[in-house]
Structure 1
Amino acid sequence: MKAFIFDLDGVITDSAEYHYLAWKALGEDLGIPFDREFNETLKGVSRTESLERILRHGGRENDFSLEEKERLATKKNEHYVSLISKITSDDILPGVEAFLSELKEAGYKIGMASASKNAHMVTRQLGLLHAFDHIVDAATVVDSKPHPEVFLKAAEALAVDPKDCVGVEDAVAGVEAIHAAGMFAVGIGDPLVLNEADIVFTDTTGLTLDNVLTRN
């Protein structure tokens, strides 16, 4: 393996909670019930597709024009950005900073493949921009996860063959994208949910180079 490519939300920091709060607020505005169980189906999915799923969930998929949907997505994002504006290095998930340092010292290339258009901003606020050789976010891809485009673009930017990359994800759609890209998949979360991953750690404290390589 020559490179590690990370998702952002739920892997580097738990900004997924802020996505949930912002989508829930929008759902309430539209009269669409929204709970944490349904929110799980949005993990790793683009903003546009998430909105479509929410509207279908509430039976309102035909109630809005394309322009109105764009305004709704923008409203959600503005709320999300206001919520994450106070994120700091204290919000880096346990063990992540040490793992990134371990990878850097061992000579691995490090990339990010995020479904968030705010990936650069969040990474900057976490104080981790220096840790990544390249960041690919939703603003630079056409197809969202589970399509492999974001991971393939990250591998290309790192000048590493996809088969020599490890992808790290917390969402089913993300794991599917990693495998579709021909990469080795490390899941963070419930092993029963992420059962397609090659390795699953219940949380980020399991992320060490030794743990990954010995189970690869």
Structure 2
Amino acid sequence: MIKGFIFDLDGVITDTAELHYEAWKKLSDDMGWFFDRELNEKLRGISRMDSIKVIMDHNKVSLDEATVEELATKKNDIYVDSLDTMTEEDFLPGAKELLTHLRAEGFSVALGSASKNAPKVLQQLKATHYFDVVGDGNSVEKSKPAPDIFLFAAEKMRLPADNCIVFEDAEKGIDAAKTGGFYSVGIGPEERVGHADLRFDTMKEATLFEVKSFFSDLF
């Protein structure tokens, strides 16, 4: 039986993707590195340190670990400053409604995000009260596609993986859910999240009614 829901943050609850893109673009421009939207897509769902290494690899750049960490921190500072512009209006259409329905029906709800800034984003959205558990980039060492963040969230909710549905918009996130033994709902195009158990183009379509209908034998 499904008793818990675990949500990724970026691209599922809200879309901070543009803010991330602008921060990586500024850092790359400052460093004289190539960075565009196509390369940015490769960063979807992975940690900050993994992201900067993808950019460096693309630019055939090698730096010592201390410098890499310094640059990753610089990018994060640019991004965090931009979060102050976020408000309750920045929920993706359908996300707030789904969270409200889950709360009303008594399901356990967790966040399972690679972002270390997830608590700040939830605070800006005034969304903290929707979540029983917040798993973020500080919660586990291995980021997606390792299932650790989802396993952490399930453990904190005191639920086995097969009692939970994960909502993800990244290929690596769906990979992580499958590896961990979770049911999965993909948000986004077929080529990115088509390997999820159930897929919707947008969160607006991912109503609790639709999810329950598809997983009818689990409710």
Taking structure 1 as the reference length, the TM-score comes to 0.97
2:155 maps to a residue whose letter is E
CA distance in 1, matches of 2:10, 2:191: 20
Structure 1 match to 2:25: 24
Structure 1 match to 2:54: 53
CA distance in 2, matches of 1:193, 1:68: 32
2:210 maps to a residue whose letter is N
RMSD: 0.8
Secondary structure of the 2:193 match is coil
1:116-168, CA deviations, whole angstroms, 9 ceiling, x for partnerless residues?
00000100110000000010100121100000000000000001111110000
2:187 touches 2:203 (CA, 8 Å); kept in 1?
A: yes
Give the Å deviation of 1:213: 1.6
CA distance in 2, matches of 1:200, 1:38: 24
CA distance in 2, matches of 1:127, 1:67: 35
In structure 1, list runs of 5 or more residues that go unmatched.
Answer: none
Structure 2 match to 1:35: 36
Structure 1 match to 2:195: 196
| Within-5 A mapping of 1:110-149 | 110-149=109-148
1:20 touches 1:39 (CA, 8 Å); kept in 2?
A: yes
Secondary structure of the 1:168 match is strand
Give the Å deviation of 1:95: 1.0
CA distance in 2, matches of 1:142, 1:59: 26
2:85 maps to a residue whose letter is K
Consecutive aligned runs of 4 or more in structure 1 exceeding 4 Å deviation? none
1:59 maps to a residue whose letter is K
CA distance in 1, matches of 2:27, 2:157: 37
Structure 2 match to 1:184: 183
CA distance in 2, matches of 1:112, 1:84: 18
Give the Å deviation of 1:214: 1.2
Secondary structure of the 1:19 match is helix
Taking structure 2 as the reference length, the TM-score comes to 0.96
1:32 touches 1:57 (CA, 8 Å); kept in 2?
A: no
CA distance in 2, matches of 1:46, 1:15: 14
Structure 1 match to 2:11: 10
Structure 2 match to 1:85: 84
User: How many percent of aligned residue pairs carry the same amino acid?
Assistant: 43
1:68 maps to a residue whose letter is T
Secondary structure of the 1:174 match is helix
Secondary structure of the 2:190 match is coil
2:13 maps to a residue whose letter is I
CA distance in 2, matches of 1:68, 1:146: 25
CA distance in 1, matches of 2:22, 2:181: 34
1:83-124, CA deviations, whole angstroms, 9 ceiling, x for partnerless residues?
111100000111111111111111110000001000001001
In structure 2, list runs of 5 or more residues that go unmatched.
Answer: none
CA distance in 1, matches of 2:111, 2:192: 22
CA distance in 1, matches of 2:22, 2:198: 30
Secondary structure of the 2:192 match is coil
Aligned length: 214
Give the Å deviation of 1:192: 2.4
Give the Å deviation of 1:178: 0.8
Give the Å deviation of 1:37: 1.1
